[in-house]
Amino acid sequence: MSTAELSGSTHHDHHEGSYLDGPPGFWSRIWQWATTVDHKKIGVMYLFAVMFMFFLGGVAALAVRLELLMPIRTETLADGSTVVTGQILSSILGATEMSSNEIYNRAFTLHGAIMVFMFIVPSIPASLGNFFLPIMIGAKDVAFPRLNLLSWYIYVFGSIFGVASILMGGVDTGWTFYTPYSLTTDADHWRVVLMVLAAFILGFSSILTGMNFIVTVHKLRAPGMGWFDMPLFIWALYATSIIQVLATPVIGITLLLLIFERVMKIGIFDPAMGGDPVLYQHFFWFYSHPVVYVMILPAMGIISEMLSIHCRKHIFGYRAIAFSSLGIAAVSFLVWGHHMFTAMGELAAMLFSALTFLVAIPTAIKVFNWIATLYKGSIAINTPMCYTLSFLFLFSIGGLTGLPLGALATDLHLHDSYFVVAHFHYVMMGGTVIAFIGGIHHWWPKMFGRMYNEKVGILGCAVVFVGFNVTFFTQFIMGTQGMPRRYATYVDEFHVWHVVSTIGSWLLFIGFVIHFLNFVHSLIAGPKAPPNPWGGLTLEWECESPPIEHNFHHEPIVKHGPYDFDTVVPPHCDPAEYPLPERPEPRA
Amino acid sequence: MMFTLASSNQNWLTRLIFRSEPASNAAVFTDALFMMIFWFSMFFFVLLMGLMIYWTIKYRRRPGVPAPVSPHHNTPLEIIWTVVPSSGLLVIFVLGFWGYMEKVTPVSGALELKVDAWKWGWNITYPNGAESPEAQPLSEGDWDFPIFYVPEDTPVSLRMSSQDVIHAFWIPAFRTKMDVYPNRYTGFTFHTPRLRADEFVTDTSGDEPRQIPGRDLWVFCAEYCGEEHSRMAATLRVVPRNVYEAKLESFMADVEPVELGRRLWATRCSACHSIDGSPGTGPTWKDSYGYEVILNDGTSLIRDANYMRESVYVPNAKIVAGYPANMPSFQGQINEQQFEGILAFMRSLSDRGPAPDANGNGENGNDNGNAPEPSDTTDGGEQ
């Protein structure tokens, strides 16, 4: 390609020959992006696509919280007539056939389905993973670049089905599509089938990306990089990819059966035809539990990277963190039953409860290692670090509140309550989304070649952190007090908590708007980024900001570990600013 | 008893967390286990966050000053922080299983209640066949939900099944729920609390509201089941045994068909069908009997007794235009006598089908399905 030759000849200038450069002319550039096999361009396209889905899912979340600002009540006026209050969504949308409850049910289903299938599963692996996995192991691209482009188009294709279903009126099944409700609701319409088909198609994108990453990690590591010289983000993506390849086919089969059941009435899941609705739940969670680790493992990888670099200190317990990623991936396949403690016999419940506690151990080990990494570090207070600390705070709460859900006696109370809602938002949003936003800040200078405003970034992080806790901590309390999930209205006792939670959701929104404006400002007017603004030792900091099309001018040869801050001056950095410790020790 | 002790011991923290007192021994155990996990978690959380904040401040970056050399790992430390929390988890697992068995193991001699669930309501059938006709809202201005009476200080076991989709029967005060499925039974057990001397509830079943000893507990549906999922609730009312027995006797007493129908509407039908003409998930019952209606296949018919009967037992055979095919069948749930009551109640709500008078003659009933004469009065005929 001409760009590659160009970048090879002019690599003394940072910005000529960057992967972002393209041919003149708007349509030529569009065509170049649409047909690219460059993992960086595909990563960036994924980044914008998943952030757009995050926005759509976020709007649905704000709608859900808005409806819950008031309970639905019937008031009798002085003249004896009655008026229904609290139907906020239907009064905003005006004349519609749907009741507020129906709009609410569709809103939370859209929120869940978009956030899970179109945002959080592809989020980190497909965007930051695609961009940085090859660079961090010193490769020019992933092992199968065309397959990578195919998985992007499959993602787009699947998302179109999902959006089509929304435009046709949306579905009210919940993102879990539990039978027999999902078999009978909206019987006259194809919306449910379209949404299920969307999730089915998106699964292929996930499988292909996972396969690509596994082969890339096995075959394309730079000379000198052994398995234990890999950055922990790569270990996390590797473990994630294994889960994606092994678990996603199961959801594919399950969703296909659901479509067959709905369209052809074959009688697998529908009790009216002799089917078993619990079988569906087993199939569904056999994928959907491992997939929560697809969501959280890459986030853990990002945290390991950011923590080490912004503390300028070797990560504590490298091997323990790497192996705990694999351990979590392995045990994650054995705990699906804990979503169904209210639907299974005593023996199965006991076994799944025990296995659930087993998966808590490697997770706890990671948190201990991260906290220990702070000890005697040189800790920079910047946006990535603020997000890392926020992650540790929120993810610890999310993990610890998993304990009463894994214990059977307490789970019978908390199952399907707001406690569960709060728990998984602390893990998924407080964990994955927080790490993702932190990771975008961390790698922003590398991806786009411009710095963002640090003060605005820290402000945004603070607003998101406060807003998040106001929104979701209240939900723990509602849950233990007896508030069931997926309720459009509620008893008066929960009103105050719901009001606080809804105000928190607005704070969260403001926080994300601050980040969005900061990023837009950075793209337009941000100062140019140096190749290594944080002083990192992983390979992406050796290439330019933004990287050239083939990432490195020469194939890198790995001579030090990714976290050897004790012994190595980071590339492109002034040794005066990055002095080595006085008593350097040999690598352990 | 253990639970009365515990309930008087609720401190501000457990009140904030649980709001309701634990209403059974199993619930007391659950709360104790939850609080044990809470303090276990608090210990690690405060320790970790304390270290995080302290070290972040102490070791914040100073320009030009490198991080001092420190170990990359420490095997004894790593073993300790693996083994110590793991043994804590083992204890939590064992206690959790213990408390779970207490909730699900059937107790011999327990009062067995049959729970029926449908979109969207609950019904409980007592061992003598009685059903509660009483209803009350859980909050002012909300819908009426049925009141189920249980005697105090008695083991109760539930045998539950659903007529349509999956529901879940949750009584937060007992800290227990279980999914309710079509085509099979599930259930759980609880021991009702002994009432304290100062616990009263309002009984509105008589002509005048009166205070009776009792405690009201929330019942919620916890498994998403559609449009009115959030209004699939009930009250479980714990009362002294003599009140319970008097209630059961009164539930079995014969009532006028119209009153029987009104009671069944209040506990079973009111979630979807209004009686004042306001729109709902299903068609309103006001001025429906005897009136023509357009079906979703474009045909029309007069809603007579046969149509009403079919709509209760085979509800999706004919769907009124503009409504979803949402209603579960009440075959086996509503018997002949009860249906007569519902029919009488429906007719009392329509100016074209007044209830029969004392001689059994309707004024202008159209039971034979002939089209009625167009009525001159457009609304509000005497009933």
DSSP calls for A553-585: SS-----S-TT-TTT-PPTTS-TTTSPPPSSPP
Give the tokens for residue B154: 């008695």
Alpha-carbon distance of A417 to A446, in angstroms, equals 42
> What pLDDT score does A364 carry?
93
Half-sphere exposure of B170 (CA within 13 A, CB side): 29
* Of the candidate ranges A216-220, A328-332, B154-158, B235-239, the one whose mean pLDDT is the lowest: A328-332
Give the tokens for residue B29: 């155990």
- Specify which of A189-193, A230-234, A330-334, B334-338 reaches the highest per-range mean pLDDT: A230-234
Alpha-carbon distance of A515 to A74, in angstroms, equals 41
Q: Please tell me the distance in Å from A397's CA to the nearest CA on chain B.
A: 8
SS3 content of chain A, % helix, strand, coil (to 5): 65, 5, 30
Q: Please tell me the distance in Å from A351's CA to the nearest CA on chain B.
A: 10
Using the beta-carbon criterion (under 8 Å), do B218 and A320 form an inter-chain contact?
no
Is residue A4 predicted with pLDDT exceeding 80?
no
Alpha-carbon distance of B158 to B187, in angstroms, equals 5
Measured distance between the N- and C-terminal CA atoms of chain B, rounded to whole angstroms: 54
Give the tokens for residue B28: 């007391």
Phi and psi torsions of B201, nearest 5°:
-130, 165
Alpha-carbon distance of A24 to A523, in angstroms, equals 19
Q: List the single residue in A105, A379, A416 with the smallest CB-CB distance to B60.
A: A379
CATH of domain B111-251: 2.60.40.420
**Residue of A309, A395, A403, A418 best to disrupt the B interface, most CBs of B under 10 A:** A403
Q: How many CB atoms lie within 10 A of CB B12?
A: 7
Alpha-carbon distance of A138 to A132, in angstroms, equals 10
CA-nearest residue of chain A to B228?
Answer: A101
> What would the pLDDT profile of A93-132 be if each residue is shown by its tens digit?
876 667 888 899 999 999 999 999 999 999 999 999 999 9
The one-letter amino acid at B234: A
DSSP secondary structure code for residue B298 in this structure:
S
Residue with tokens 């199952």: A415
Q: List the single residue in B19, B52, B177 with the smallest CB-CB distance to A374.
A: B52
Question: Which residues of chain B neighbour A172 with C-beta distances below 8 Å?
Answer: 226-227
> What pLDDT score does B354 carry?
59
Residue with tokens 């990023």: A519
Q: Please tell me the distance in Å from B219's CA to the nearest CA on chain A.
A: 9
CA-nearest residue of chain A to B174?
Answer: A413
> What pLDDT score does B360 carry?
47
Residue with tokens 């307490």: A410
Question: Which residues of chain B neighbour A484 with C-beta distances below 8 Å?
Answer: 170, 220-222, 230
Alpha-carbon distance of B8 to B23, in angstroms, equals 12
Q: What is the mean pLDDT of residues A413-423?
A: 97
Give the tokens for residue A426: 């602390």
CA-nearest residue of chain B to A273?
Answer: B183
> What pLDDT score does B64 carry?
80
Alpha-carbon distance of B296 to B307, in angstroms, equals 15
Alpha-carbon distance of A572 to A538, in angstroms, equals 12
Rg (CA), chain B: 28
Residue A585: pLDDT band with limits 50, 70, 90: low
Residues contacting residue A469 through CB under 8 Å, at least 6 positions apart: A394, A504
Alpha-carbon distance of B360 to A555, in angstroms, equals 99
Q: Please tell me the distance in Å from A573's CA to the nearest CA on chain B.
A: 12
Alpha-carbon distance of A88 to A17, in angstroms, equals 53
> What pLDDT score does A256 carry?
93
Q: With H, G, I as helix, E, B as strand and everything else as coil, classify residue B289.
A: coil
CB A514 within 8 Å of CB A102: no
Measured distance between the N- and C-terminal CA atoms of chain A, rounded to whole angstroms: 44
Using the beta-carbon criterion (under 8 Å), do A374 and B59 form an inter-chain contact?
yes
CATH 2.60.40.10 fits B257-348, yes or no: no
Q: Which fold has domain A39-74+96-288?
A: Cytochrome C Oxidase; Chain A (1.20.210)
Using the beta-carbon criterion (under 8 Å), do A381 and B61 form an inter-chain contact?
yes
Question: Cα–Cα distances in Å, from A1 out to A5, A30, A36, B107, B366?
Answer: 7, 16, 11, 77, 85
- Report the helix count and the strand count for chain B, using DSSP H and E: 8, 14
Q: How many CB atoms lie within 10 A of CB A164?
A: 15
Q: What is the pTM of this model?
A: 0.89
Q: Give ipTM to 2 decimals.
A: 0.92
Q: List the single residue in A75, A311, A400 with the smallest CB-CB distance to B44.
A: A400
Using the beta-carbon criterion (under 8 Å), do A187 and B325 form an inter-chain contact?
yes
* CA-wise closest residue to A61 among A517, A506, A489: A506
Helices (H), A382-453: 383-400, 403-406, 408-414, 418-427, 434-448
Alpha-carbon distance of A529 to A100, in angstroms, equals 49
Say if residue A554 is exposed, middle or buried (CB neighbours under 10 Å; 0-12, 13-18, 19+). exposed
Residue A80: pLDDT band with limits 50, 70, 90: confident
Is residue A187 predicted with pLDDT exceeding 70?
yes
* Angle ∠(A256,A259,A264) on CA atoms, nearest 5: 120
Interstrand relation of B145-151 and B200-203 (parallel, antiparallel or unpaired): unpaired
Residues contacting residue B276 through CB under 8 Å, at least 6 positions apart: B284, B286
Give the tokens for residue A448: 């786009």
* CA-wise closest residue to B354 among B263, B302, B287, B299: B287
pLDDT digit of tens for each residue in chain B (383 aa)? 344 444 455 789 999 999 999 999 999 999 999 999 999 999 999 999 999 999 999 999 988 888 888 888 899 999 999 999 999 999 999 999 999 999 998 888 899 999 999 999 999 999 888 888 899 999 998 988 999 999 999 999 999 999 999 999 999 999 999 999 998 999 999 999 999 999 999 998 888 999 999 999 999 999 999 999 999 999 999 999 999 999 998 888 878 888 888 888 888 888 888 888 887 888 888 888 888 888 888 888 888 888 888 888 888 888 888 888 878 888 878 888 888 888 888 888 888 765 455 444 444 444 444 444 444 444 433 33
* CA-wise closest residue to B289 among B303, B278, B306: B303
A vs B, Cβ pairs < 8 A, gives: 303
Alpha-carbon distance of A240 to A209, in angstroms, equals 10
Using the beta-carbon criterion (under 8 Å), do A485 and B222 form an inter-chain contact?
yes
Alpha-carbon distance of B158 to B168, in angstroms, equals 12
Domain ranges in chain B are 2-57+75-104, 111-251, 257-348
**Residue of B90, B227, B228, B314 best to disrupt the A interface, most CBs of A under 10 A:** B227
Q: What distance separates the 2 farthest-apart alpha carbons in chain B?
A: 104
Question: Cα–Cα distances in Å, from B247 out to A109, B162, B184, B267?
Answer: 42, 26, 29, 16
> What pLDDT score does B252 carry?
82
DSSP secondary structure code for residue A273 in this structure:
G
Using the beta-carbon criterion (under 8 Å), do B222 and A491 form an inter-chain contact?
no
Angle formed by the axes of helices A100-113 and A39-67, nearest 10° = 150
Q: Please tell me the distance in Å from B157's CA to the nearest CA on chain A.
A: 16
Q: How many CB atoms lie within 10 A of CB B83?
A: 11
Q: List the single residue in A271, A312, A317 with the smallest CB-CB distance to B183.
A: A271
DSSP secondary structure code for residue A548 in this structure:
B
* CA-wise closest residue to B269 among B326, B307, B206: B326
> What pLDDT score does B373 carry?
43
> What pLDDT score does B277 carry?
83
Using the beta-carbon criterion (under 8 Å), do B229 and A566 form an inter-chain contact?
no
**Residue of B100, B162, B189, B274 best to disrupt the A interface, most CBs of A under 10 A:** B100
CA-nearest residue of chain B to A181?
Answer: B165
Helices (H), A482-567: 495-525
> What pLDDT score does A587 carry?
56
Alpha-carbon distance of B126 to B131, in angstroms, equals 6
Half-sphere exposure of A217 (CA within 13 A, CB side): 25
Alpha-carbon distance of A346 to A359, in angstroms, equals 20
Give the tokens for residue A303: 């945290």
Using the beta-carbon criterion (under 8 Å), do B19 and A408 form an inter-chain contact?
no
Give the tokens for residue A475: 């939900």
CB B193 within 8 Å of CB B148: no
Q: How many CB atoms lie within 10 A of CB A499?
A: 14
DSSP string, B24-93: SHHHHHHHHHHHHHHHHHHHHHHHHHHHHHHHHHHTB--TTPPPPP--S--HHHHHHHHHHHHHHHHHHH
Q: With H, G, I as helix, E, B as strand and everything else as coil, classify residue B213.
A: strand
CA-nearest residue of chain B to A493?
Answer: B139
Say if residue A5 is exposed, middle or buried (CB neighbours under 10 Å; 0-12, 13-18, 19+). exposed
